[in-house]
Each structure stands twice: as C-alpha cells, then as structure tokens.
Structure 1
C-alpha cells in the first residue's frame, strides 16, 4: 500500500465490517461514515499492516483483530461493538442451557464452557485460535495507550471484569440516523391492523423461537412480520407450521431500507426478544426513529436504551406469559401504544440520534489527540 494515500493528516476508521448497513455494527458504521465528520476520511481501512501510522491524525478501530496492527505512532480509539474482545465465542451466552455466561475470560473457564456447556466451536484448533486472539487483544488494551469506547455500560463492566482499566474506557451509546422520509406517530388505523414486527438475524440467540411460542397465546388477529435471514430459518418455519401460525406470519427475508421502513410504519409495536446479552441493540433506536414502542427482553445493554413503561416494555428473557401480556397490553390500548412510541421518539431525538453521537465522538477525538501530543 503506497503511503501517499495518507498524505493528509486525517482521522481514519479501520474496520473489518462491511459498509452496507445490513445490521448491528455495520448499520452503525455506515451511518457514521455517511455523516461525514470534518477531518475524517470517508475511506475505511481494512488493514493497518505495512502502513506508516504516523501519517494519521487518529485511527478509530472497530474490529478487535485490527488492534494487532497498532504501532503506537498515532492516537488510537477502539470501539467495542460486541463481546468478541473478551469472549472467545463472541456471545456471552450458553445456548444449550439458555443462560447468559457469567464467566470472565480464562483458558480453564472457557475450555470448560466449550467442552461441557457447548459454547461456540469445540474444534480444538479453532478453540485455541479464539483463546489466543482474546488474550492478545486484552493484552494490547492493557499495555498500549488506547482509549476504549464501550457502546453500553454493560459492555464497559464486562471489559473491566476482564482486566481492562476503567480509566481507559468511555461509554458512548450508539446513535442512529432518522429516516430521510417522513415518519408519523402511530395512527388508530394502523393500530387496528394488529401487526407486530421482528427485525434481526434468524439465529437462536435472537429469541425468535420464544416469540413464535408466545404468539400462540395472543389474540389470533395479531400478525407477525419477520424481517431478516439466518441459518435457523428453516427450523423456525417448521416450528411456526407445527404451532398453526402459518396464516399469522409473513417471512419477508432480508429487506432493503425502504421496505424495512414500510414494515416499521405498518406495525403497532416492535418486538426485540433477544435472549443473549445484546451489547446495545440498534433495533430499539430504529423503532424509536419511527415512533414505535418496543417490547424487549431485559438483557445486556438493552435496558440502558429502553426505559421500561416509558419508551417500551421490558420482559424477562424466555418468559412466554410476560411477553404475551406485554403484546396484548399494547394491542388493546391504542393510546398507550401511541404515547410510548412518541416518548421513545422524543428520547431518541434528545439523546440517541447520530448528530448527538457524533458530537460526543468529536469531543473524544479532540481530547485523545491533545493528550497524545503532550
């Protein structure tokens, strides 16, 4: 890579994530790049190998593996978007037991997790590679001058538990872009269509199985729209059929932005039933941007983005009765559904838009660049 590409003193993002807005960290990073911060390159670097990093004003890393290329010749920010920094399997969730993993990273504990609890891959070579990677990343965070940005206090606490100094960590909640096309508060007409929406990858951790089993215990007029794809889709389609739900569900697959916006607009509530500890949960913010109340599981960083009974309803993970009660409550009370949706939108506009996020991020950049120079 020729060094003249970096002849300007700019801030560069460095990430293995694709810039296509397809969900989670990719959606966040896409929004961040599209926001065009002053002094920040619109080019996202995929690697730092063989690059003179002294040319950078600052490098902002979004993927833990890219920390291995840091030379210490420029200020560095590392945003922790998921659990892979301190969890070799990347989930902090023991799917076989259906519980959140409470262990900190260690070779003994994580080996037990893989062999006994069935956590992630149990192939020896892959497991060893994952262990070494987590250890390397944690060592780098402890030994180099890097500012760590956690996207929730839950993630911050996990980093501290795994040995990262609290003085290095800043919590900065993700922001989201408000849709460019007009969105409206929930209308009575839409509420009476009795549609709810699930948005996300169709994998066990996202809790769609729990939602399908819950749907049976709600009014038959409630229809579930599912926007997403994933390797567990075939099994869950069979489950839905066995539960007699075929005429109450529409599987939309992966949806482009316009289609997804339409689905948000035609529902009276968004269901976010993750059973693993979501680091933050951008679906919540996307629902707020469209004036829709959120019913979500109280796991990970979700409770930090959802104010119970104000911007949505929190329920214990895998609790069918409480999830059914929450769906029924909003389905039968238009005024409450509309009010919660409006309060969610107000919360977003005050604290969780990309404009607000970028303002705080710029302040972080300025401080780190100043501290590096003295």
Structure 2
C-alpha cells in the first residue's frame, strides 16, 4: 500500500444504478471515499440502467431475474451471457430440454460463476488494488470472485445489507411471519416452506445455493471482516453460527449538512404539518398495507398518511382505498430523492412499519436529519436506531392498539413531537455523521491491512 490516505479501493456490488437502500449506501460510500482522496474502482454487472463507468468493460454480463422483490430471486429467470440463449424460462416451468438446460446454466452461475472470476482477474491485472470492499454479490456475480481477489493478496471486507448469508430468501421472513427455521444449517426448510416466491423449484435452488456456499465456505474463508450496520445484525449472524471475531459493527451514515439545507427550505411547523409520510416499497415485508388498515381504523381527525413508493401491493392498496372511500391516505407514487426529502421536511414524521428484521433503517436516519421523528416497528436494527419517546415511537405491528397509540401521540402531542425532532437531528449529527463513519471504516481497513502484513 502506498499511502493510507490515498488507497485504491475495489468497491463491488451487483447493481450499478440506484434501486434500494443497499445501492444508496454503496454510492454514498463511493462518494465519501473519493472525497477523502481515495481511488474507488467499481466492479458490478452490466445493465442498461447503470451509471457510466470506465470500468464497465470488466462488469459481468447481465442476469435478469425478472423481479425487484428480494424474496423471489429465481423468478422469471433470463440470462444474458456471452453465448446467446434463445428464449427464456423460469426455474419452476422449465419443462423442455432447452428450458431445463437454460435453468441449469443459470443455477450454475448463481452457485459459482467462472466468468466473474476471469473478469475480476482482468481488472486486477490492470489496476493495483489495496483493499476490496464487497457488498451484495449473490446470484448475479457469485462468490467465485473472492478466491481470485484473495489469491492476489488483497484483503476483503464485506458490508452485510441483508440476511442472505444465513437465509435462502434474504429476509428471515416467510408465510407472513418472522422465520428462523434454517438455524443450525437446516436450509432444507426453505424448500419445505417454499420460501422463495412460494415455489418449490425456486426454493430448492435457493436451498442448494446456500448449502453449496456454506460447504465450500467461500465467505468465511476469504472475507477478513464482515461489517454489520447494527448490533442486531451481528447478534443474529452469530446466532446462526458466524464467527463473532469476524464481525464489526459500523452503522450507516447520513450527510447531515446536505440534508439540513433541504430542511431549512421548509417553513413547516408542528402546527401546520398535517401528514405522516411513508417512503419505500409497497411490498408485504414492509408492512405498509397492514399499516394503512390500522391508520384507517384509527380515524384521527386532521391527520393524513402520504405514501410514496411503488411495488407489488400497489393495486391491492388502491382497491382498498377506493372500496372504503378513504380520502386521508394519499398515494404519491415513486418520488425522486430530492422530492422525497422535501416532502419529508414538510411532514409531521415518518413511519417505517416493517414486519421483517430491518438491518439498519436508513429511512429513519434521513428523517432524523430533517428534524422529523419516526414511528416504527421495533424489529431488527430499527429497535436500536429509534429511541422510544425520544426520537420516535416504537410499536408492535401485531398489535393494532400499539400502532394507534403512536398515531395519537403524533397527532395530539405536537409540541413534544417538535422537541423530539430537534433531538433526533442532534442524534443524526453527532452519532451517524459521515466523518465518524469514515473514521470507523478506516480503522477497520487499517486493522485488516496490518493483519495482511503480519
């Protein structure tokens, strides 16, 4: 390594365009590292939606899995490889020999993709890399790249954005409830309970994938440190058998000064704000449809719910609102980030009604940076991030009255809510700023690099 202040950092993630929270952190981290004087070299997957990059020639060919739902990674499989594959098929409907061959090729790529290893090797031949930072590489890239990076003497760290290391469907959630049946290596439960898209074939593929990766210990052997964004994530990984000495807790960050500018544009006060904002996917694991029903039953005068986002539950939600002639719940559709922040700045607060374990809660942190409190389920990392009665109100999504109590507090205690918003801003500024995140990350990088020298 030439200089700890000017490293060449290989930043790897399977998507090179904005989708969800993992991509937001990936690009925010890239920006932060560049600001600090490092060179960041990306490695990802080719896609028409990608941001431009001079390194795109090294990216792996596109693998279109046909859905943005993380719980259904094997549906509508269509692979675009160097050798064209005629037609398309899904794993559960591969009834022809051709379809079966294509599905097996896709499964092979998901398990271990030799071309990804070759591509990363070509990139490493062209660039001197000091450290590799891995994010999500499942399915599209595969852990085949890890051995090649390790063989070059380059240490690897990995940010854990979900529970894919221990759960075939990423979420520890199936059949409408939290699920930890696979604990102890019992991944066959994913097939028994059809945890992926309610499909036996897709679930079997996910089961095989995790057994394969655990058998060869790709991640355990080659990753020097796993970065958990919350203590909850670390604890859960350890419960499932991960080595605690390999896991460091480094929470995500928010660029408070930038977001504060947006907040100051708004002249909204606790007296003029009248709506609670949800910004995220309209999908079952996010709990928004269930929360909408609770909100409707609460019937709180002068309080509206604004819903920003898109997803598989959109049509069902629209039908529910029309059938019940609901006027105080507004569907905004998917908003650009800047518009979402402005909408957030004019709100009473933000709601995160997840029914799954959230690994962290970037949406909550952004709300804090806008001086807004968060109404949230207490699951996963959200229970650490949101301090009940201080930066927001925690509730149990299985208890309607618990949710309604939080809504009543938001609506009836506006002076308290405003004071809590000020405190939430201080928490974001003091505990989750980018400088502190960078310091923690450099300490981790430094320790890993020293271990390499030893």
Aligned residue runs from structure 1 range 355-374, under 5 A:
355-374=435-454
Superposed counterparts of 1:1-374, under 5 Å? 10-20=8-18, 22-35=19-32, 36-38=34-36, 40-46=38-44, 49-50=117-118, 51-52=120-121, 53=124, 55-65=128-138, 66-71=142-147, 72=150, 73=152, 74-94=154-174, 96=175, 98-105=176-183, 109-116=186-193, 118-138=194-214, 139-178=217-256, 179-180=258-259, 181-184=261-264, 189-216=269-296, 217-245=298-326, 247-374=327-454
How far the C-alpha of 1:125 sits from its partner, in A, is 3.9
What secondary structure, in the 3-state scheme, does the structure 1 residue paired with 2:332 have? strand
Higher relative contact order (CA 8 A, sep 6+): 1
Following superposition, the deviation at residue 185 of structure 1 comes to 11
Deviation at 1:238, TM superposition (A): 1.1
Q: Structure 1 residue 114: deviation in Å?
A: 4.1
Aligned 8 A contact 2:254 2:433 in 1: yes
Moved more, 79-88 or 183-192: 183-192
Detail structure 1 runs of 4+ shifted over 6 Å in the superposition.
Answer: 185-188
Larger radius of gyration: 2
Paired residue total? 361
Q: 1:119 to 1:203 in 2, by over 3 A?
A: same
Change (3 A) 1:304 1:136: farther
TM-score between the two structures when normalised by the length of structure 2: 0.74
Deviation at 1:187, TM superposition (A): 6.8
- Partners of 1:224 and 1:250 within 8 A in 2: yes
Deviation at 1:213, TM superposition (A): 1.2
Distance in structure 1 (CA, Å) of the matches to 2:341 and 2:207: 40
User: CA offsets per residue over residues 332-355 of structure 1, 9 Å max, x none?
Assistant: 112111111111111111111223
Check conservation: 1:278, 1:299, Cα contact below 8 A.
yes
| 74-83 or 170-179, which deviates more | 170-179
- Aligned pair in 2 of structure 1 residues 186, 262: CA closer, same or farther (>3 Å)? closer
Structure 1 CA distance, aligned partners of 2:253 and 2:388?
Answer: 19
SS of match in other structure, 2:132 = strand
Aligned equivalents of 1:38 and 1:137: distance in 2?
35
Instruction: Measure the CA separation in 2 of the matches of 1:175 and 1:14.
Output: 19
Secondary structure of 2:42's counterpart equals strand
Q: Which residue number in structure 1 is paired with residue 91 of structure 2?
A: none
Query: Take 1:175 and 1:256, find their aligned partners in 2: how far apart are those partners?
Result: 20
Deviation at 1:263, TM superposition (A): 1.0
User: 5+ unaligned residues in a row in structure 2: which ranges?
Assistant: 1-5, 45-58, 60-115
Q: What SS does structure 2 have at the residue aligned with 1:183?
A: helix
Task: Assess, with a 3 A threshold, how the Cα gap between structure 1 residues 334 and 184 changes in structure 2: closer, same or farther.
Answer: farther
TM-score by length of 1: 0.89
